[in-house]
Amino acid sequence: MSDAVTVLSVGDLVLDEPDPASFLAPVRSALARGDLVIGHVEVPHSTADVQVSTDVPAPPADPAGLAALADAGFHVVTLAGNHVYDAGEVGVADTIAHARAAGLVTAGAGPDLSAARRPAVVERGGLRIGVLSYNLVGPRESWATSRKAGCAHVRVLTHYELDHATPGGPPSVYTFAEPASLAAMTDDIRALASEVDVVTVSMHKGVGHTPAVLAMYEQPVARAAIDAGAHAVFGHHAHIMRGVEVYRGRPIFHGLGNFVTVTRALTPTGNDNAERAEWARRRVELYGFAPDPDMPFYPFHPESRNTVIAVCRFDRAGITSAGFVPCRIDERGRPVPVPRSDGGEAVAEYVRRIGEKAGLTAEFDWDGDEVVLPRVGRGLRAQPA
């Protein structure tokens, strides 16, 4: 029988500033409490100057950022996201190679689709833990195929419906997972669940830079992962937090937001890419905010400075508890754990409020400076009525 194993997970990681280790310094002791620490690497890490025009292309970051992650306590990095192919096949290959050279295990990307769908599997405390990673937001260019590098993905379809007699007026938007693509993901989860003790699923999903909102597809896809055998789902991509729910006794973190996301690629001035410059302009129109001019390395929504470290504990009977450590991103772009009495309550209230606005009803308790989800329990049980 194993002792309890603690798995920690965080949201997006973009280490595209000098001295990447300095941005992780305030969280090193918090991450050290995890037997397994998972983070999502958002951009390629490569010295190549290849750039593929995909969505809003991100320049490759220094491979030293991956070594800094390993040194700070990360063990697994998920790679299935919308920027993984921004430096083409060489960027995918370099990111995986540099991550592995740093001692990190990768999931979600590879030289072809079969490799991209392959889980990371590690052993801790006598438990085998599997990590799967999927991109649900596109763009299509980032997806791996049988003969192309890229990421594992779930294809999400968008339908626009004019529900009133105003041609050209604002439509209602309906999103849902394409059935075969969703089935591929759930097949992967079932297969992995038959081979390991714990399954976690990382999902790059949601509407960017928009507080609280869950797109229609998000909850059904996350719940399908739990139904297929996942013990926890960790969401990211929106660069701002989403709420938390407990489904059938297992936690779904719909969006862990930013963790370390420092880059000048999207600053309104001084960049050399027309697509990124146009995106910096349109971001104000679409999302109604301009980045803090005092933080040119942090071009994100002001509410995104609320963030958390997700915490899940397991033994051979299944998941025993889950919750999160509240954090705030400081003026230097560093995530800093905040105690309950000194900022933690405010972060937890933010997570509760945005969850409630999105129709989620998770209950929060406290255990010291950590928020706990009291409905998380052992094994897969029916969701309370």
Q: Contact 327/336 with Cβ under 8 angstroms?
A: yes
Q: Which residue has the higher pLDDT, 266 or 50?
A: 50
pLDDT at 385: 36
| Tokens read off for 42 | 């958002």
Portion of the chain with pLDDT greater than 70, in percent? 94
Report the chain's mean pLDDT, rounded to a whole number: 92
For residue 323, pLDDT beyond 60: yes
Burial 204-224 (b: 16+ CB within 10 A, else e): bbbbbbbbbebbebbbebbbb
Q: Contact 240/207 with Cβ under 8 angstroms?
A: no
pLDDT at 283: 73
Mean pLDDT confidence for 269-298: 76
- What is the per-residue pLDDT across 17-45, written as a single tens digit (0 to 9) for each? 999 999 999 999 999 999 999 999 999 99
Q: Contact 381/249 with Cβ under 8 angstroms?
A: yes
pLDDT at 276: 67
Mean pLDDT confidence for 131-145: 96
pLDDT at 265: 75
Q: Which residue has the higher pLDDT, 144 or 56?
A: 144
Q: Contact 124/36 with Cβ under 8 angstroms?
A: yes
Instruction: Count CB atoms within 10 A of the CB of residue 66.
Output: 28
The CATH number for 5-373, chosen from 3.60.21.10, 3.10.180.10, 1.10.3720.10, 3.30.470.20, is 3.60.21.10
**Calpha distance 11→205 (Å, rounded):** 11
Q: Contact 328/338 with Cβ under 8 angstroms?
A: yes
What size, in residues, is the chain?
A: 385
**Calpha distance 197→195 (Å, rounded):** 7
Q: What is the dihedral of CA 259, 265, 269, 274, to 10 degrees?
A: -140
Portion of the chain with pLDDT greater than 90, in percent? 82
What pLDDT band is residue 53 in, cutting at 50, 70 and 90?
low
What pLDDT band is residue 170 in, cutting at 50, 70 and 90?
confident
What pLDDT band is residue 201 in, cutting at 50, 70 and 90?
very high
Mean pLDDT confidence for 202-224: 97
- What is the per-residue pLDDT across 84-113, written as a single tens digit (0 to 9) for each? 999 999 999 999 999 999 999 999 999 999
Residue whose token pair is 């105690």: 339
pLDDT at 382: 43
Q: Which residue type occupies 245?
A: E
Query: Interior CA angle at 102 toward 122 and 264, to 5°?
Result: 115
Please give, one letter per residue, the 3-state secondary structure of the chain: CCCCEEEEEEEEEEECCCCHHHHHHHHHHHHCCCCEEEEEECCCECCCCCCCCCCCCCCCECCHHHHHHHHHCCCEEECCCCCCCCCHHHHHHHHHHHHHHCCCEEECEECCHHHHCCCEEEEECCEEEEEEEEECCCCHHHECECCECEECECCEEEEEECCCCCCCCCCEEEEEECHHHHHHHHHHHHHHHCCCCEEEEEEEECCCCCCCCCCCCHHHHHHHHHHHCCCEEEEEECCCCCCEEEECCEEEECCCCEEEEECCCCCCCCCCCHHHHHHHHHHHHHHCCCCCCCCCCCCCCHHHHEEEEEEEEEECCEEEEEEEEEEEECCCCCEEECCHHHCHHHHHHHHHHHHHHCCCCCCCEEECCEEECCCCCCCCCCCCC
Of 100, 139, 105, 146, the residue nearest 122 (C-alpha) = 105
pLDDT at 139: 94
Q: Contact 226/250 with Cβ under 8 angstroms?
A: yes
Mean pLDDT confidence for 71-82: 98
For residue 271, pLDDT beyond 70: no
**Calpha distance 147→357 (Å, rounded):** 43
**Calpha distance 63→91 (Å, rounded):** 11
